[in-house]
Chain A
Amino acid sequence: MRILIVEDDREAANYLVKALKEAGHVVEQANDGDTGAHLVATESWDVVVMDRMLPKRDGLSIVQEMRDRGQTTPVLVLSALGQVDDRVEGLRAGGDDYLAKPYAFTELLARVEALARRARPGEVETSYRVGDLVLDRLSHSVTRAGEDVPLQPREFRLLEYLMKNAGQVVTRTMLLENVWDYHFDPQTNVIDVHMSRLRAKIDRGQERPLLHTVRGAGYMVREMPK
Chain B
Amino acid sequence: MTGEPAPERFSGLRRVFRTTAVRLSAIYILVFTAFSLSLVVGVTHEAARVMNRQIAEAIDDDVESLRDDYRAGGIVRLFFTLDERARRPDAGLFYVVDPNGNPIAGNVAELPIQAVTEDDDEPHPLAYTRVENGRETRHVALIRAFTLDNGFHVLVGRDIGERERFREVFRKAFRWIAGAMVVLAGLTWWFLARRVLKRIDQVSAASRRIVGGDLSGRLPVSGSGDEFDRLAVGLNDMLAKIADLMKGLKEVSDNIAHDLKTPLTRLRNRLEAALSDPADDDGRRRTIEAAIEESDGLIRTFDALLMIARVEAGSSLAAAGRVDLAAIAREVAELYEPVAEDEGVAFVVEAAEPVEVTGVRELLAQALVNLVDNALKYGRVEGRAAKVTIAVHRDGDHAVLCVADNGPGIPQADRTRVLDRFTRLEVSRSAPGSGLGLALAAAVARRHKGEIELTDAAPGLKVALRLPVEA
Contact = CB atoms under 8 A, between A and B. Distances in A.
B24 interface: no
Interface stretch (A63-71, A79-87, A116-124, A128-136): A79-87
B335 A180 contact: yes
A193 interface: yes
A9 interface: no
B340 to A, nearest CB: 9
A83 B376 contact: no
B376 A182 contact: no
A85 B315 contact: yes
B268 interface: no
Interface of B: 289, 295-296, 299-300, 303, 306-307, 310, 315-319, 331, 334-336, 338-339, 342, 360, 362-363, 365-366, 369, 373, 376-377, 433
A216 B300 CA distance: 17
Given A89-B318, A190-B335, A84 B363 contact: yes
B383 to A, nearest CB: 24
Contacts of A154: 334
A193 B338 CA distance: 6
A83 B365 contact: no
A85 B335 contact: no
Given A84-B318, A102-B295, A193-B339, 8 more contacts: A84-B316, A84-B363, A85-B316, A85-B319, A182-B369, A185-B300, A186-B373, A193-B342
A88 interface: yes
Contacts of A100: 303
A186 B360 CA distance: 17
A84 B369 CA distance: 16
Contacts of A137: none
A25 interface: no
B419 to A, nearest CB: 18
Given A83-B306, A182-B362, A187-B373, A88 B319 contact: yes
A10 interface: no
Interface string A82-124: 1111001100000000001010100000000000000000000
Contacts of A89: 318
Contact of A184 (B315, B338, B362): B362
Contacts, number: 64
Contacts of B300: 185, 187
Query: Chain B interface mostly helix, strand, loop or mixed?
Result: helix
22 contacts: A82-B303, A83-B315, A83-B316, A84-B319, A85-B317, A85-B318, A88-B319, A89-B318, A180-B335, A182-B369, A183-B362, A185-B300, A186-B369, A186-B373, A187-B300, A187-B433, A188-B377, A190-B335, A190-B338, A193-B338, A193-B342, A197-B338
A185 B434 CA distance: 13
Contacts of A182: 335, 362, 365-366, 369
Which 6 pairs show the lowest CB-CB distances between chains A and B?
Answer: A85-B318, A193-B338, A88-B318, A184-B366, A193-B339, A84-B316
A126 interface: no
Interface in A188-216: 188-190, 193-194, 197, 216
Query: Chain A interface mostly helix, strand, loop or mixed?
Result: loop
A104 B310 CA distance: 24
Contacts of A88: 318-319
A213 B129 CA distance: 131
Contact of B369 (A83, A85, A104, A184): A184
Contacts of B363: 84
Nearest to A215: B289
Residue from A89, A183, A188, A194 whose CB has the most chain B CB atoms within 10 Å = A188
Contacts of A193: 338-339, 342
Nearest to A92: B318
Contacts of B303: 82, 100, 185
Nearest to A191: B335
Contacts of A194: 335, 338
Contacts of A184: 307, 362, 365-366, 369
B299 A102 contact: yes
A177 to B, nearest CB: 11
A84 B303 CA distance: 12
B369 to A, nearest CB: 5
Contacts of A82: 303, 306
Contacts of A185: 300, 303
A185 B363 CA distance: 12
A193 B341 CA distance: 10
Contacts of B289: 216
A12 B339 CA distance: 36
A139 B331 CA distance: 24
A188 B376 contact: yes
A197 B366 CA distance: 23
Given A83-B307, A102-B299, A180-B331, A188 B316 contact: no
A188 B318 contact: no
A82 B307 CA distance: 9
A156 to B, nearest CB: 13
A194 B339 CA distance: 8
Contacts of B299: 102
A82 B305 CA distance: 12
